[in-house]
Structure 1
Amino acid sequence: MSKKVSIVDIANTLNISKTTVSFILNGRAQEKRISEELVARVLKLVKEVGYKPNSLAKSLRTGKSNIIGLMVEDISNPFFANIARLIEDRAYEKGYRIIYCSTDNNSEKTRDLITMFRDRHVDGYIMAPPREIEEDVKELINAGLPVVMFDRYLPGVDTDYVVVDNEFSTYNATKHLAEQGYSKIAFITFSSEQSQMLDRINGYKNALKDSKLKPFLKEIEFNRNEALIIEPLTAFLKKNQDIDAVLFGTDHIGTCGLKVIKQLGMNVPDDVAVVSFDDYDVFKLYSPPVSAIAQPIEALADNVISLMLKKLDNNAANNTTQKITLSTNLNIRESSLQHSKTAAE
């Protein structure tokens, strides 16, 4: 096996200094008044031997790795996967690469991942953070490392973030169900102290208060094992058989909920109307199609990477933080409409 070619090998072959080779490879030949003929000889040999620079060594030397760390709850989730892809495309256009990871909403795992990213000398951090990592994020910011949050934020940390108006989103969806004639509307969501989940619960409760309706709130512990979500969801629906509409707090719990509704022999929307937070193809293809709160995926991704790139631009003023809240769209489909028609007949 041939050994990896180094700058020293190239310098020795051409009988020049490794510093000269380094200047040429880093685009500083003209600044250092290195002849075009020598530049051509070095680049020709580099191509012939297939020299690949050591990215870690270069980052230590220059202080930049051109890598951004992206930390999300679950990279396999369609919401996070779609945003990640859009961020990756925009970052690549600007010369940056993305390293992804899933935190599973686990604070200890998140700390380990932050340590890994710091060891890799990533230039910036984009994250949908779990709770209890406030001090870790503050350390990053104090070290001069840019941090942009999305989907949720940490109230005690002053940094850039991009979120949607979660409270109005669930308020609007709940009012829609009430206006359709549904009077026993449940909200089933994951148990969480994260900002976006608390806002969604508040929106639901406020809409019921304004409509003078009683809340039916069920919070389920987050788990990657779907069976541990379906079990308490099934028990709740069996216990509250008079519920005539359900608003699901996330797309994941929404798909689990649709499975349970089918297993219980209930028809949508005749027995129970359904609306879910987050809109994607499964809801559009379900029979009947499911009403859903659509987040502006492209706008979220575009704002997140724009904030990060601005932070990474040494010429930009990086001492101000931006807090951006975007609107959602309630896509109304058959799953939440039929009750009012039936009541009118």
Structure 2
Amino acid sequence: MDNLKKKNLKKKLSIVDLAKQLNISPTTISFILNGKAQEKRISSELVERVLKQIEEVGYKPNALAQSLRTGKTMIIGLMVENIANPFFANIARLIEEKAYKNGYKIIYCSTDNDSAKTKDLLRIFQDRHVDGYIISPPEGIEKEVDGLIDNGSPVVLFDRYLHDTKADFIVVDNAGSTYEAVNHLVKNGYKNIAFITLDSLQTQMQDRLKGYEKALNEHALSHHVKEISYYQEEENIIRHIVAFLERKPELDAVLFGTNYLGVSGLKAIKKLNKRVPEDLAVISFDDHTLFELHSPDITAISQPIEEISEKLITILLGRLNKTSKAKKTQSAVLAPELIVRGSSRKIKA
């Protein structure tokens, strides 16, 4: 190893150091690194000499300095409720894939549906100068979201939206999908249908409840709703569901408001030695790989994950790259699919 390379290992090179080594201006190197050599009429020979020197000395541009020059970090902040949940994990993976193809990197985190934690994470992302945000928001961050947009950072919300904010959003037809699920159960002969959901005022959970109630009202059937607090240990969720089902022996079907409630619900049903669907038919909002492995397989309301991801990143990239001409808030309500499986089959006469 020559003396120059040894020296470079001890000291991180700056663009000024590199310019001195090549006896050219830092500005010329900057133009080359930012792909403006042809525009600035820099000779191909000089470009080749600069790139060769960069490779030899291991020069790496300072990311913060680059962002100050270009006004971009090429980083997108993705904030989801829980990255371990298959729905959010799949959304993140697809967004990351398309973002990378467009030159952007993703930094993502879980908010745990906690507004205080979300505000802290937003401050961290702002300190990192991320270019834009994709968020599944908890309640109570409306002011922060509008502040980001006012400061020039585009924000796209998904899974739920915040009333009276300036953010673009993508959601699904939550009310229509639970309405369809309940009608499917009624058509198959079920009359005492419960809805086990989260104790939440968020738009997606409220809309799922509205769809359930609308369908039961149209058929003049009784409501049986159990609301469970967010982020309890699974053991507690199972215990609450067991107690609810024991208090309601008349139930012949249950609709779960999320996939993780559905998984816990199946464990509760097993604890009670009930058969699916003979004793209790089951449908869950959000599909899950475990639902296909269960015997019988579980009917699920499946969200269009690829379409959601595509629309999210397309809207955000349009805002970031100034290709979108939309000045007003952009939004879309997508249609989930009811995947009918063995857990909700028709009752034999």
Scaled by the length of structure 1, the TM-score of the pair is: 0.96
Give per-residue Cα distances to partners, 1:194-224, cap 9 Å, x unaligned: 1000000000000000011000000000115
In 2, the alpha carbon distance for the partners of 1:30 and 1:329 equals 51
| Equivalent-residue separation in structure 2 for 1:74 and 1:218 (angstroms) | 22
Q: Does 1:179 align with 2:182?
A: no
Q: Which residue of 1 aligns with 2:46?
A: 38
The answer to whether the aligner puts 1:300 opposite 2:308 as a matched pair is yes
Root-mean-square deviation (Å)? 1.2
Paired residues of 2:76 and 2:130 also in contact (CA < 8 A):
yes
The one of 19, 42, 56 aligned to 2:64: 56
Partner of 1:11: 19
**What amino acid is the match of 1:250?**
T
Q: How many residue pairs were aligned? A: 341
CA displacement 1:231-259 (0-9 Å, x = unmatched): 21221111112211000000010000001
Moved over 3 A (4+): none
Q: Which residue of 2 aligns with 1:152?
A: 160
The aligned counterpart of 2:6 is: none
Change (3 A) 1:182 1:316: closer
Q: Which amino acid aligns with 2:233?
A: N
- Write the letter of the residue equivalent to 1:327: A
Distance 1:267 1:205 in 2: 26
CA distance in 2, matches of 1:59, 1:9: 20
1:205 to 213, 216, 222: 213
Tell me the residue number matched to 2:281.
273
Unmatched segments (≥5 aa) in structure 2: 1-8
- Please give the per-residue CA displacement for 1:41-89, whole angstroms capped at 9, x wherever unaligned: 1110111122221212211221101111101000110000001111111
| Pair 1:245 & 2:249 matched | no
Aligned to 1:79: 87
The aligned counterpart of 1:47 is 55
Deviation at 1:156, TM superposition (A): 1.7
Cα deviations by residue, 1:251-279 (Å, 9 ceiling, x for unpaired):
01000000110011111111110000011
**TM-aligned CA deviation for residue 17 of structure 1:** 2.2
Question: Which residue of the partner structure matches residue 73 of structure 2?
Answer: 65
- Displacement after TM superposition at 1:315 (Å): 4.1
- SS of residue in 1 equivalent to 2:118: helix
1:295-325 alpha-carbon deviations (Å, 9 max, x no partner): 1111111111111111112243252221100
Corresponding residue to 1:317 among 320, 325, 336: 325
Q: Distance in 2 between matches of 1:33 and 1:328?
A: 53
Q: Distance in 2 between matches of 1:314 and 1:242?
A: 58
Match of 1:122 among 126, 130, 142: 130
| Residue among 23, 45, 51 paired with 2:31 | 23
**Maintained 8 Å contact 1:188/1:217:** yes
In the alignment, the residues of structure 1 paired with residue 114 and residue 184 of structure 2 have an alpha-carbon distance, to the nearest angstrom, of: 35
Answer yes or no: is the 8 Å Cα contact 1:222–1:229 preserved in 2.
no
Residue 177 (structure 2) aligned to one of 160, 169, 176: 169
Structure-2 separation of matches of 1:62 and 1:210: 58
Residues 223 and 229 of structure 1 are in contact (CA less than 8 Å); yes or no, is this contact kept in structure 2? no
1:335 aligned residue: 343
The correspondence for 2:266, drawn from 253, 258, 273, is 258
What's the offset of the Cα at 1:30? 2.8
Alignment match, 2:101:
93
3-state SS, counterpart of residue 10 of structure 2 = coil
The answer as to whether partners of 1:167 and 1:200 remain within 8 angstroms in 2 is: yes
Per-residue CA deviation, residues 115-135 of structure 1 (Å, 9 max, x unaligned), is 111111111100110000000
What letter matches 1:25 in structure 2? L
Contact 2:145 2:167 (8 Å CA) reproduced: no
| Aligned 8 A contact 2:149 2:166 in 1 | no
What CA distance in whole angstroms lies between the structure 2 residues aligned with 1:247 and 1:306?
A: 33
* Deviation sequence 1:161-217 (CA, Å, 0-9, x none): 111100010000011111111111000011111100000000000000001100000
CA contact (8 A) 2:80 2:136 kept: yes
TM-score, structure 2 normalization? 0.95
Does the residue aligned with 1:139 lie in a helix, a strand or coil? helix
- Cα drift, residue 3 of structure 1: 2.5
Secondary structure of 1:48's aligned partner: helix
The alignment partner of 2:255 has SS state of strand
**Structure 1: which 5+ residue stretches go unaligned?**
none
Judge conservation of contact 1:184–1:213 (CA < 8 Å) in 2: yes
1:287 aligns with 2:287: no
Structure 1: distance between partners of 2:245 and 2:56: 68
CA distance in 2, matches of 1:159, 1:102: 20
CA distance in structure 2 between the partners assigned to 1:50 and 1:225 by the alignment = 49
Partner of 1:108: 116
CA distance in 2, matches of 1:183, 1:330: 19
2: CA distance, partners of 1:224 / 1:140: 31
Q: Is the 8 A contact 1:247 1:276 kept in 2?
A: yes
